Amino acid sequence: MTFVIFRRAAQDYDGRKMSQNLISLSSPLLAGAAGLAGCRADFPVFRHHPGLVFLDSAASTQKPQQVIDAIAEFYAGGYANIHRGAYRLSAQATDQFEAVRERAAQFFKAPAAESIIFTRNATEAVNLVAYSWGLRNLNAGDVVLVSEMEHHANLVPWHLVTGLRGARVEAVRMTPEGRLDLEDYAQKLQLPNLKLVALQHVSNALGTIHPAKQLVDMAHRHGKPILLDGAQAAPHMPLNLSELGADFYVLSAHKMLGPSGVGLLIAQPQHLRDMPPFLGGGDMIREVYTDRSTYADLPNRFEAGTPAIAEVVGFGAALAYLEGLGMENVHAYESELFQYAQGQLNLIEGVDLYGPESDGEHSERAGVLSFNVRGAHAHDVAGFLDEANICVRAGHHCAQPLMRALDVVSTARASFYVYNTREDVDALARELRDIATFFGENL
């Protein structure tokens, strides 16, 4: 399959159309140099690395001072293990930890706080569902439906578990523009042995925002449970998981200004109640004998061992920070920045962009821009950009099936977040122009 890349001539680039439906385009929020409401100043990395153009937030985001402070204060001012100590310091730490669960429940409008499980990352959250739900519910011949756009984190766990159960994985195709093929999805939902749907909410490689509500409703019309991988969605848009109704939703704290080491599984409580524990150990038990154990209620049943306590507290600060910005504003700001970047890169001769063309009306792209310079390998492009102090990802973005569908070895990927500015985009465009010329001349 060859992939249709989109490319518009400069004169076709319609700034007016771009601004429709972007509520904040003319608002003072979008003062270019300062980032979202000037929040760039909150991120100390940019003081330590003057001139740094950080465009790899889809891999992991930088951290604001508020998050760093929350972790330091927790360690300095009241650290203890949680759920165990019969003393006030432990009780206080437990309260702080559990308060983050409550805050997360409100932030994501989760069905219930007790059905939020802290894991190490979104990958572990998928593995939890794969091993706990999957080992119990999948049998020989059963099917787990993914897409060919999935991140490896939402593919490999299913390969492992279906392998153990004699079940198999099928993939929904993507369209040449880089969207999920909804007709193919509708057809594959009718597979007789389909047991679970596991799809991404936003593509990490192309930035395509999939119609999550529609995906969930279609799965449910066929009576199939659905897991959504929200690792690239949760940081960038307001979520209402109660309304969305997905059976399982996973995300990672480190991609939304929080510390590494914290992921979330947000599930419908009835599923979790029916699921056996995933990891066994301390804190997830009720009674333990030498020959058997009984298990704790939700959510503790799925949180074995000492968790990343300080990091969870830090994640609470990240959520507070994002609440302060407002997720609507975050989404609007990134959309605007994306439109600007898409426009700027489109002007460069010798640069090809991937993913559905977004005119802002459908807002179906998150702040991710995948591209290649003609005649250059993405890795070479990233090397040259690095020399100019610009961080982008180059490679297959842990989405090898997608790269195959695109018929490319790799792409370079610039991804944006709240601290990025038009100046960052301008720096990227300037260097890319230079790189495209260099490789063009040496063709």
Partner 1 sequence: MSALKDLYKQVVMEHYRKPRHFGDLPDATHAEGGHNPSCGDSLQLMLKMNGETIEGAKFTAKGCAISVASASLMTSMIRGKTVPEALELAEKFSAMMKTGEAAPELGESAALQGVHTLHTRVKCATLGWQTLKVLLERAQREQAEANV
Catalytic positions: 398
Of 29 and 55, which CB lies nearer to partner 1 in the complex structure? 55
* Shortest spacing between CB 400 and partner 1, in angstroms: 7
Scanning 26-34, 172-180, 325-333, 380-388 for contacts with partner 1 by CB under 8 A, the matching segment is 380-388
403 in contact with partner 1 (CB under 8 A): yes
Rounded distance between C-alpha atoms, residue 434 and residue 432, angstroms: 5
Whether the upstream peptide bond of residue 192 has omega within 30° of 0, thus cis, is no
Identified binder of partner 1 from the candidate list 8, 109, 377, 430, rule CB under 8 A? 377
Q: How far apart are CA 37 and CA 375, in angstroms?
A: 39
Separation of alpha carbons 348 and 342, rounded Å: 10
Nearest to 207 by CA among 378, 393, 391, 24: 393
Which of 384, 401, 422, 426: binder of partner 1 (CB under 8 A)?
Answer: 384
Residue 156 has which token pair? 């490999």
Binding test (CB under 8 A) with partner 1, winner from 376, 390, 414, 427: 376
- E strand segments, 14-142: 53-54, 116-119
Which range binds partner 1 by CB under 8 A, 32-40, 97-105, 358-366, 395-403? 395-403
Chain-centroid distance, C-alpha 348: 29
Please state whether the peptide bond connecting residue 299 to the residue before it is cis, i.e. omega within 30 degrees of 0: yes
Whose Cβ is closer to partner 1: residue 15's or residue 383's?
A: 383
Minimum Å gap between C-beta 339 and partner 1 is 29
Give me the half-sphere count of Cα atoms (radius 13 Å) on the Cβ side of residue 66.
Answer: 16
CB of 399 to partner 1, least distance (A): 10
Q: Which two tokens stand for residue 153?
A: 């984190």
Does residue 440 touch partner 1 according to CB under 8 A? no
Q: Which stretch binds partner 1 (CB under 8 A): 114-122, 182-190, 215-223, 376-384?
A: 376-384
Q: How far is the CB of 440 from partner 1 (least distance, A)?
A: 12
- How many other C-beta atoms lie within 10 A of the C-beta of residue 223? 8
Segment contacting partner 1 by CB under 8 A, of 10-18, 318-326, 386-394, 420-428: 386-394
H/E segment holding residue 326: none
Is residue 379 part of the contact set for partner 1 (CB under 8 A)? yes
Hey, what amino acid is at 32? G
> Could you tell me which stretch among 92-100, 230-238, 312-320, 394-402 binds partner 1 (CB under 8 A)?
394-402
Q: In degrees, to the nearest 5, what angle opens at C-alpha 393 toward C-alphas 385 and 396? A: 130
Single out the residue of 394, 402, 414, 427 in contact with partner 1 (rule: CB under 8 A): 394
399: exposed, middle or buried (Cβ count in 10 Å: 0-12, 13-18, 19+): buried
Q: Is 401 a binder of partner 1 (CB under 8 A)?
A: no
Query: Given the complex with partner 1, which of 13 and 384 has the nearer CB atom?
Result: 384
The number of residues that bind partner 1 (CB under 8 A) is 20
SS3 label, residue 174: strand
Burial class (CB in 10 A: 0-12, 13-18, 19+), 274: exposed
Q: Which residues of 331-368 are buried (b: 16+ CB within 10 A; e: fewer)?
A: bbbbbbbbbbbbbbbbebebbbbbbbbbbbeebbbbbb
Please state the closest distance from residue 299 (CB atom) to partner 1, in A.
35
CB 36 within 8 A of CB 325: yes
In contact, 419 and 235? CB cutoff 8 Å: no
Nearer of residues 154 and 372 to partner 1, judged by Cβ: 372
Which of 53, 296 has the CB closer to partner 1?
53
Q: Which residues pair with 370 in a beta bridge?
A: 354, 413
Binding of partner 1 by 407 (CB under 8 A): no
Nearer CB in complex with partner 1: 312/402 = 402
Q: Half-sphere exposure (CA, 13 Å, Cβ side) for 166?
A: 3
Indicate which single residue of 410, 415, 420, 421 sits in contact with partner 1 (rule: CB under 8 A). Answer: 410
Residues numbered 244 to 273 that lie near partner 1 (CB under 8 A) are none
CB-nearer residue toward partner 1: 129 or 382: 382
Residue 301 or 433: the one with the smaller Cβ distance to partner 1 is 433
By CB under 8 A, tell whether 295 contacts partner 1: no
Q: Which stretch binds partner 1 (CB under 8 A): 47-55, 265-273, 311-319, 403-411?
A: 403-411
Structure tokens at 306: 């000492």
Minimum distance from residue 409 beta carbon to partner 1 (Å): 5
Contacts to partner 1 by CB under 8 A: 376-380, 382-384, 386-387, 394-396, 400, 403, 409-410, 438, 442-443
